[in-house]
Amino acid sequence: MLGIIGAMEIEVATLIDAMEISKKETKAGMTFCCGKIEGKDVVVVKSGVGKVNAAMCTQILIDDFDVDAVFNTGVAGSLNNDIDICDVVVSTKAQQHDMDVTALGYDRGIIPDMEKSVFEADSKLIDLAKKSAKDAGLEINVFEGKVLSGDQFIGTEEAKNFLKKEFAGDCVEMEGAAIAHTASLNGVPFIVIRTISDKADGGAEMDYPTFEKKAAKNSISLMKQIIKNY
């Protein structure tokens, strides 16, 4: 069983429409749609926005649906000037950029009393995503990169430059690192796949609503191909 999480309706609705749904279960206010896509057993869920929702959703997928792997699909802002709007970032690793215990002597982004604060995606899932991007025939560029997550929309040049300098991130959003964190603690393979909706700079507030639907459509097309190839 594959677990697929999107934060917003636009990020999962088309996948759910493509499913042969066998059952729906609502837990913690989230509707988990179970069934088949491309003949594969999947459960697709809208987590809601933010790290707490994403972490709760991931734990439910693992505990109650016994998923073999967790996929996070959706949109993000680019932190890398080479990665343009509608391009895709396949996570190599993920980190929470708003974890800040610097007052106690920790580096920014480090989670106290944990062995790791940067969570590495599964190498087989990375290869699968890259192959599927080629097979899907999408006219976009696909990058491997570091995903940053925090409970804030990044929309200024100052914030973007800080995240690039401090964390060497390639894209930024609000859920992926929480999903990565939860999956890693449970020993479940994960990957975050994000299509760029904006450049996370001063134009983000205008770019995001303009390109959100196109970016989400590319994410869904890629996710369908990943499921087919899994």
Is 9 catalytic? The answer is: no
The conformation of residue 48, written as its DSSP 8-state character, comes to -
> 58-88 as b/e, with b when 16 or more CB fall inside 10 Å?
bbbbbeebebebbbbbbbbbbbbeebebbbb
The sign of the dihedral angle between the CA atoms of 120, 125, 131, 137 is negative
C-alpha span between 48 and 173 (Å, rounded): 13
Catalytic residue among 175, 198, 201, 207: 198
C-alpha span between 80 and 192 (Å, rounded): 17
Nearest to 191 by CA among 117, 96, 54, 91: 91
Catalytic residue among 11, 87, 173, 201: 11
From start to end of the chain, where are the E strands?
2-6, 20-27, 30-37, 40-46, 69-78, 88-96, 118-120, 142-149, 171-173, 190-198
User: Residue 31 pairs with which residues in a beta bridge?
Assistant: 26
Is 11 catalytic? The answer is: yes
β-pair type (30-37, 171-173): unpaired
Structure tokens of 83? Answer: 């990665």
Query: Active-site residues: which are they?
Result: 11, 198
